[in-house]
Structures are given as structure tokens and as C-alpha cells.
Structure 1
Amino acid sequence: MFSLTVRRHFMIAHSLPREAFGPAQALHGATFVTEVTFRRRALNADAIVLDIGAAGTIIEDVLGGLNYRNLDEHPDFEGKLTTTEALAEYIAQAVFEKIKDSDDGRELTGIDVTLRENPDAWATYVLDLSA
């Protein structure tokens, strides 16, 4: 199994309006370091998982729709909590939608998205494409 990970960051505002989130119930900002890992069983004809530049462009396109946005007002999150875990899943699905019809996309066995809120806290969503 091979993997390629590309890292970018984005900044958002949001609130988490449930008692479980304490002070994060109020509107606040967050900066996430985003790591997207692409997995495949064998390298492509160019001996790579995926072109790093192409991977970066895909990730930037997805994050561009979130960056500097108040997610409480974002139509994709209406009625949903924008926890770190939920955002990781959203990004994984959005990245997959952008790559799924390409030659490399059809060969992927998984896309993992890790969102780091700070050096001591992060969440990961694993999109298993091997089924």
C-alpha cells in the first residue's frame, strides 16, 4: 500500500450550539491544518500515487469554499454541527468528488483527512474506497 499526504490550512468561524461544547457554543474562529492522505495499492505508470501539485490544487479548491467563511451561514452545513470530525468527513467527501472520475482517482483505496486544531488536538476521518 502506498500513500501521499499533502498539507494545507484554512480558517473559519463557527459556533457549536450545544451545552457539551461549553464556551465554543459562541461564535469563534479556528485555524485548521489539513492533511489529506491519498492511498492506493500500486503506483501509477509514473511511479507515483498522485501528482503532488494536482493533489494540492484539489485540496485548495475544496478548502477555498470554506476558508474565511462563517460555517454557521454556509449552505452545506445548514442544521449540522461543524465539529472537527464532521469537517474532516466533509473535506474527504469533497476531495473524492473532485478526483473520483480521473484515472488516478479510480485507483485510490482511501482518502484520509486529518484536521489539526493545535499541536495537541486533531481528528481524522478515513474514507475507505476499497469496498
Structure 2
Amino acid sequence: MFTLTVRDHMMVAHSLPDPFFGPARALHGATYVVEAGFERAELDEHGVVLDIGAAGTALAEVLGQLTYRNLDEVEALDGRLTTTEFLARWVAERLAERFEREDLAAITVVLREHPDAWASYRLRLRW
């Protein structure tokens, strides 16, 4: 399996209104380093998994929907606890929509919230 990974970042505000999250129940900021890995069983006719520029642009555009926003006010996320894990899946699904015509096997999104803490989601597309 071949993988191409691109990286970007986003800064957001949100709250996690459940007693489980302790002080994170209150509105707070988060800066995520976001990595998107695109997997393909075989390289395409150009010898690549995906055009690296297209992958980076797509990631920037998806993150741009959330960057510098209060996620509690984003209609598409209404009623959801915007945990790091949830956001990793949300980003992976938006990226999959942009590359649905590619022969990708999976997309893995990693959100690094801190140098010592991160979460990821792997979206299988084809097997």
C-alpha cells in the first residue's frame, strides 16, 4: 500500500458541554496540526498516489471551513461534540468527497492537539 501525506493546521474555538470533559466544557481554543494520508494499492499512470498539490489544496480548503471559527456555531456540526476524534472523521469524510473519482483505498486523518496527544480516523474507501 502506498501513502501520500500532506499537513496543514487549523485554529478553532469550541466547547464540549458534557461533565465528562471537565474544564473543556467551557469555550476554549485549540490549534490542530492536521495530517491527511491518502492510500492506494498501486500507483496511478503518473507514478503517484495523488497529485501532492491537489492533496494539499483540498486539505486547506476543508480546514478553511472550520479555521478561526467557533465550532459551536457551525451549522454543519450542530448538536455534535466536536472532539478531536470526531473532527478527524469529519475531515476525512470531506476529503473523500473531493477525491471520490480517484482509486484511493483509504484516507487517514490525524489531528495533533499537542505534541504528546493526538487522535486519528481511517476511512476505508475500497478493498
Q: Distance in 2 between matches of 1:69 and 1:100?
A: 27
Q: Distance in 1 between matches of 2:100 and 2:109?
A: 16
Report the alpha carbon displacement of residue 111 of structure 1 after superposing the two structures with TM: 0.2
Could you list the runs of 5+ residues in structure 1 that have no partner in the other structure?
none
Secondary structure of 2:42 counterpart: coil
Residue in 2 that maps onto 1:117: 113
Aligned counterpart for 2:124 among listed residues 119, 123, 128: 128
Residue in 1 that maps onto 2:2: 2
The two structures have a TM-score, normalised by structure 1, of 0.95
Residue in 1 that maps onto 2:97: 97
Letter in 2 for 1:75: E
Secondary structure of 1:108 counterpart: coil
Superposed structure 1 runs of 4+ greater than 6 Å apart: none
Residue in 1 that maps onto 2:82: 82
- What is the root-mean-square deviation in Å for CA atoms of aligned residues? 0.7
Report the alpha carbon displacement of residue 29 of structure 1 after superposing the two structures with TM: 0.2
Residue in 2 that maps onto 1:67: 67
Give CA deviations for 1:16-57 in whole Å, capped at 9, x if unaligned: 000110100000000000000000000011111011111000
Q: Distance in 1 between matches of 2:89 and 2:7?
A: 16
Report the alpha carbon displacement of residue 99 of structure 1 after superposing the two structures with TM: 1.2
Report the alpha carbon displacement of residue 108 of structure 1 after superposing the two structures with TM: 0.2
Letter in 1 for 2:31: T
Secondary structure of 1:66 counterpart: coil
Instruction: Count matched residues.
Output: 127
Secondary structure of 2:23 counterpart: helix
Give CA deviations for 1:61-88 in whole Å, capped at 9, x if unaligned: 1001000000000001111100000000
2:39 is aligned with 1:43:
no
Identity of aligned residues (%): 56
